[in-house]
Structure 1
Amino acid sequence: MWQALFDITNVIALVGWAMLILLPRRESVLFAVLYGAIGLLCACYIVMLVSLVGNLVDPVPAAGSLPQPEFEYSVQGLMAMSRSEGAIVVGWTHYLAFDLFAGLWIARDADKPGVSRLVQVPFLLATFMVGPMGLFAWLIARAFLGARADDAG
């Protein structure tokens, strides 16, 4: 089950990224990315998280891992919590949704002052692959590419 959910969420994210990078930036495309991809990833995340935390589904512990102790807010606690297929898929879906949201923001932010799509692509691909690094690169570059810092909202 968890592998299937992992596959489904990855397809949703890939479709969203492909639309964002390859299609014309019409409002209908941006709407589809926001609600059809990001919104759907968020909905999947919520259902999986509630199901997992509410013990409605089996988290399928990773092979060789010890039984999970009560959650403790620490590095060790996070490691213990993430030793299941369910926790990994829920966490990965979290990354997929937020990275795509950051990519959508970058695209919209870059479109406002007319930054070329060819210039945008490396930032979008970096955000797709290494989320915060791509976003950070855009935050630095926007000052030099005509985007205004006071227009961040």
Structure 2
Amino acid sequence: MDWNAIFGAMNLLAMLSWAALILGPRKPLLLSSLLYLGVGMMCFVYAAGLIAIVTGLVDPVGGEAQASFSTIEGVRAIFASDGGITIGWTHYLAFDLFVGIWVARDADAKNFSRFLQAPILLAIFFAGPLGLLLWLLIREGRARAQGRWQ
């Protein structure tokens, strides 16, 4: 399996999706496309790759370590291969884009300007949880002012 090609394709898909989310019109068709074609495609690649690696169908983990999610050694074993790195990275890309879409929709609903949204969305793209924390702190005041938490 050509993990470099998959890694590159997932990066390209993520970059194009983020550019469309930040710069494009927030029309339902665009947001749905980003969700199903962007996030959905990355989730499919992640799921297929994870199953293939954990079951040993591709990129088997060598040495004494067994791939598992219950120990540091087990997780390290998964990431000890190009396939493991690729699916791990795809996992980050998919979840960060999903969070970015939610934040963009939430920010639009709360009437935050796109100018303010852009750096928050970039923070989510580059540092997922840090950008999400930033958004949660910023949105709180507006949510309270509107008298609801959504």
State the secondary structure of the residue aligned to 1:111.
Answer: helix
Alignment pair present for 1:70 and 2:69: no
1:110 touches 1:147 (CA, 8 Å); kept in 2?
no
Listed as ranges, the matches of 1:19-98 within 5 Å are: 19-59=20-60, 67-71=63-67, 73-98=70-95
Q: Deviations over 1:26-54 (max 9, x none)?
A: 00110111011001111111111122122
Alignment pair present for 1:6 and 2:12: no
Q: Deviations over 1:9-68 (max 9, x none)?
A: 111111110110010100011011101100111111111112212222225x6xxxx614
1:12 touches 1:37 (CA, 8 Å); kept in 2?
yes
TM-score scaled by structure 1? Answer: 0.88
Q: Deviations over 1:54-89 (max 9, x none)?
A: 222225x6xxxx614224522233223311111111
Listed as ranges, the matches of 1:99-138 within 5 Å are: 99-138=96-135
Greater share of helix? 2
User: What percent identity do the matched residue pairs reach?
Assistant: 44
Decide whether aligned partners of structure 1 residues 92 and 4 sit closer, same or farther in structure 2, where only a CA change above 3 A counts: same
Amino acid at match of 1:7: G
* Aligned-CA RMSD value: 1.6
Q: C-alpha distance in 1, partners of 2:12/2:143?
A: 31
Amino acid at match of 1:84: S
Unaligned runs of 5+ in 2: none
Amino acid at match of 1:112: A
TM-score scaled by structure 2? Answer: 0.89
Report the number of matched residues.
145
Q: C-alpha distance in 1, partners of 2:56/2:110?
A: 48
Q: After TM superposition, what 4+ stretches of structure 1 lie above 6 angstroms from structure 2?
A: none
Decide whether aligned partners of structure 1 residues 79 and 58 sit closer, same or farther in structure 2, where only a CA change above 3 A counts: closer
Unaligned runs of 5+ in 1: none
Q: C-alpha distance in 2, partners of 1:71/1:56?
A: 13
State the secondary structure of the residue aligned to 1:114.
Answer: coil
